[in-house]
Structure 1
Amino acid sequence: MQKSKRILVCPLDWGLGHASRMVPVIYELINSGHQVIIGADNSPLDLLRKEFPNLEYIKFPSFSISYSQGSSQVLSMLLQLPKIFSGIKKEHLLLKKIIRDYSIDIVISDNRFGLWNKEIKTIFITHQLKIKMPAGVKIMTEPFAVLNNRFISKFSECWIPDYPGEMNLSGDLSHNIKRNASCKFIGPLSRFSYVSAICPDFNIPEPLEVLIILSGPEPQREILEKLLLSQIEKEKKNVIIVQGKTQEKIITKKENITIVPYLGSAELKYLIEKAEVIICRSGYSSIMDLVSLKKSAILIPTPGQTEQDYLAKYLSEKKMFTYSSQDSLNLSELFSVYKNINPFYNSPENNLLKDALGGQ
């Protein structure tokens, strides 16, 4: 039997997706007899504490990014580059102290570039080896690819949460490109793979015609919520909205619409399986969760996030999802298109994650 190791798991603090896809990794580590320590902050910390209340936690701040209210984030991101690089350096230095103080053997970092260390094994998890640049700055694609690869190469290994062949979810983000030798595919990661569905403790409408799952950074999360509410009220359908607010608890109801701040994995799984139509962002973690349950959705990319734009279009072309930009959102039209989607995805059986973790 392999020796138990102290493994630090650290998701990026940009929305909830990076934390939620660490859930299956943590379950596998625990099942393998390892001691897991969570290093996170804000909403990711709240999410993982709710999922694993008995684990050890370290408040490990990640640099925060501000998003504009407009449809383009290019200028906003470029202006924040010095802040991002400074944040990467700070978390790298802080990691050295954490490794020493907590006797860490291995670090698993989900998209936190500063969490590499020369003294111990460090693993970087990402589905985005290729950075999709907006139309106005496509000239920067190659320089950013070189920079991205330079950061990733500092880690002992890079794990890609996708399948290696044609039956994949991330498309050009991690396929059809030259990859570092340390990269390995570990299969999609879904928090629903390790929990049984539990009915939430509030009245679920029959039928549950629409489930809206909100996520991502502010102010775009709130902007989409208001936009969806303004349109869904006219549809006269039974609707549940999950806001993605981990620190709030009050459930509100307005006629046929129930608004829930946050749900744990087991309760959210129950609603996804029950819902006739699902609406959410096209974040990669949301896509992996839906595919694991063989459910389709109407995807609405976060404005300015080129990765989400690409994923929505790529998976729509594969007839797995439909999508709309936030600016041109028309729910009445989308509901009619949704009926023609075939959500079935014949995902390969695999033990890629278990195989990857077996070497720890």
Structure 2
Amino acid sequence: MRNKRILVAALNWGLGHATRCIPIIKELVANGYEPIIASDGKALKLLKKEFPHYQAIELPSYNITYSRKGSDLKWKLARQAPGILKTIQEERRLTERLVEQFELFGIISDNRWGVRSDKIKKNVFITHQMNVLSGKITFLSSYIQQRYIQKFDQCWIPDFEDETNLSGKLGHLNNTPENVKYIGTLSRFQKNECPIIYDYLVLLSGPEPQRSILESKLLKEFGRTDLKILFIRGIISEEKIPNALAHISIKNYLYGELLENAINSSEMVIARSGYTTLMDLSKLEKKAFFIPTPGQKEQEYLAKRLEELKYAPYCEQENFTITQIKKSGKYKGLSNFGDHSLLRDRLAFFERE
């Protein structure tokens, strides 16, 4: 008898949604399921690199773009709403075909609203945002998110339910819906004791043009120092950028064990405050400095919360200078909340009739 097939679909918005699906896919395989991988763009390329032996499906692209000014972000996203809704409808139609084609037993959708099927009763939605922060329209964006979540059989939140948690108000409501389950923080990495090679690891990610804007700013700032820097651009490409500075090593992208080793061998990580990055650095118990994506309220909230908890400092992108990092010594770094095996327990959902 062949293994039960589970479709695992990741949103292509930066690489965080794809990378946090990696431990889920590995756990599915370890428990005897056959994953079918689905996404688009860079996220799909990454998952195909990590899992070259599994079937990979290209989904319709949301084609979400950012503004150059953070203050314009919510209005630009609002203008893209009709296209997003169209993509959701296309996802639904394609998903129904995939259920038939691959005889799917279940679906795990990381923030792809349209990847679910009425033909099966094993539809799981993954998100760390029960509340979607969007300024004055937070109530509306959170209401829409929660309404979509109700359409799924279960919603898995990669965090812990108790007061010691990583997502704060993003992933916690006063009254938790019955279909919401917490699965613990997700990370593909393991903490290893190894010699420190780099003073700082710069870990870039996220949509353009903000990724490139921060890249230029950081290269300029660190170019004036003699600090040992590993600079990971977050681009899955063979294209290289010129670099005449001996103290800065530049990589387009590292994945798997190579990235794990790079983070473990760095004194401190400078990165966006995206939730998947927070989960990874928490698992590795790293000191960090965060620079939220301008206009992205979720990242701004997470960075501010970590600073208030004395885990890690942050600053706005436009205000970043090397001197900002000096205040990092006053912070304790991120903590590992521990592996409670919650994800393994949640997979029992696919065994129940």
Decide: shared fold, TM above 0.5.
Answer: yes
Determine the structure 2 residue equivalent to 1:114.
Answer: 114
Determine the structure 2 residue equivalent to 1:96.
Answer: 96
Range 97-106 or range 346-355, more displaced: 346-355
Given the alignment of the two structures, is residue 310 of structure 1 paired with residue 301 of structure 2, yes or no? yes
Q: How does 1:67-216 map to 2 (within 5 A)?
A: 67-72=66-71, 73-120=73-120, 121-134=122-135, 138=136, 140-193=137-190, 207-216=197-206
Q: Whole-Å Cα distance in 2 between the matches of residues 111 and 208 of structure 1?
A: 34
Counterpart contact for 2:184–2:339, Cα < 8 Å: no
Determine the structure 1 residue equivalent to 2:288.
Answer: 297
Determine the structure 2 residue equivalent to 1:29.
Answer: 28
Structure 1 residue 351, shift from structure 2 partner = 1.2
Partner SS, residue 306 of structure 2 = helix
Q: Whole-Å Cα distance in 2 between the matches of residues 33 and 221 of structure 1?
A: 38
Determine the structure 1 residue equivalent to 2:222.
Answer: 232
Structure 1 residue 18, shift from structure 2 partner = 0.1
Structure 1 residue 198, shift from structure 2 partner = 12
One-letter code of the match for 1:58? I
Determine the structure 2 residue equivalent to 1:321.
Answer: 312
Q: How many residues align?
A: 347
Q: Whole-Å Cα distance in 1 between the matches of residues 203 and 34 of structure 2?
A: 32
Determine the structure 2 residue equivalent to 1:6.
Answer: 5
Equivalent residue in structure 1 for 2:340, among 319, 325, 350: 350
Deviations 1:69-96 (A, max 9, x none): 1122021011111111111111111111
Q: Whole-Å Cα distance in 2 between the matches of residues 90 and 197 of structure 1?
A: 43
Q: Whole-Å Cα distance in 2 between the matches of residues 169 and 232 of structure 1?
A: 30
Cα pair distance change 1:29/1:331, threshold 3 Å: same
Structure 1 residue 4, shift from structure 2 partner = 2.9
Q: Whole-Å Cα distance in 2 between the matches of residues 29 and 198 of structure 1?
A: 28
Counterpart contact for 1:197–1:267, Cα < 8 Å: no
Structure 1 residue 348, shift from structure 2 partner = 4.1
One-letter code of the match for 1:124? F
Partner SS, residue 189 of structure 2 = helix
Q: Whole-Å Cα distance in 2 between the matches of residues 252 and 180 of structure 1?
A: 52
Q: Whole-Å Cα distance in 1 between the matches of residues 210 and 62 of structure 2?
A: 18
Deviations 1:227-272 (A, max 9, x none): 1011111122111100111132648642211110110121111111
Moved over 6 A (4+): 196-199
Range 95-104 or range 23-32, more displaced: 95-104
Cα pair distance change 1:263/1:252, threshold 3 Å: farther
CA RMSD between the two structures: 2.0
Partner SS, residue 145 of structure 2 = helix
Determine the structure 1 residue equivalent to 2:207.
Answer: 217
Counterpart contact for 1:158–1:183, Cα < 8 Å: yes
Q: Whole-Å Cα distance in 2 between the matches of residues 346 and 100 of structure 1?
A: 41
Counterpart contact for 2:128–2:158, Cα < 8 Å: yes
Deviations 1:275-315 (A, max 9, x none): 11210000000000000011121111011110000000111
Deviations 1:129-162 (A, max 9, x none): 001122xxx1x22222221111111111000000
Determine the structure 1 residue equivalent to 2:63.
Answer: 64
Cα pair distance change 1:183/1:50, threshold 3 Å: same
Given the alignment of the two structures, is residue 339 of structure 1 paired with residue 329 of structure 2, yes or no? yes
Range 342-351 or range 11-20, more displaced: 342-351
Q: Whole-Å Cα distance in 1 between the matches of residues 2 and 285 of structure 2?
A: 37
Counterpart contact for 2:41–2:61, Cα < 8 Å: no
Determine the structure 2 residue equivalent to 1:38.
Answer: 37
Structure 2 unaligned blocks of 5 or more:
none
Structure 1 unaligned blocks of 5 or more:
none
Partner SS, residue 276 of structure 1 = strand
Range 336-345 or range 234-243, more displaced: 336-345
Counterpart contact for 2:282–2:336, Cα < 8 Å: no
Q: Whole-Å Cα distance in 2 between the matches of residues 285 and 326 of structure 1?
A: 19
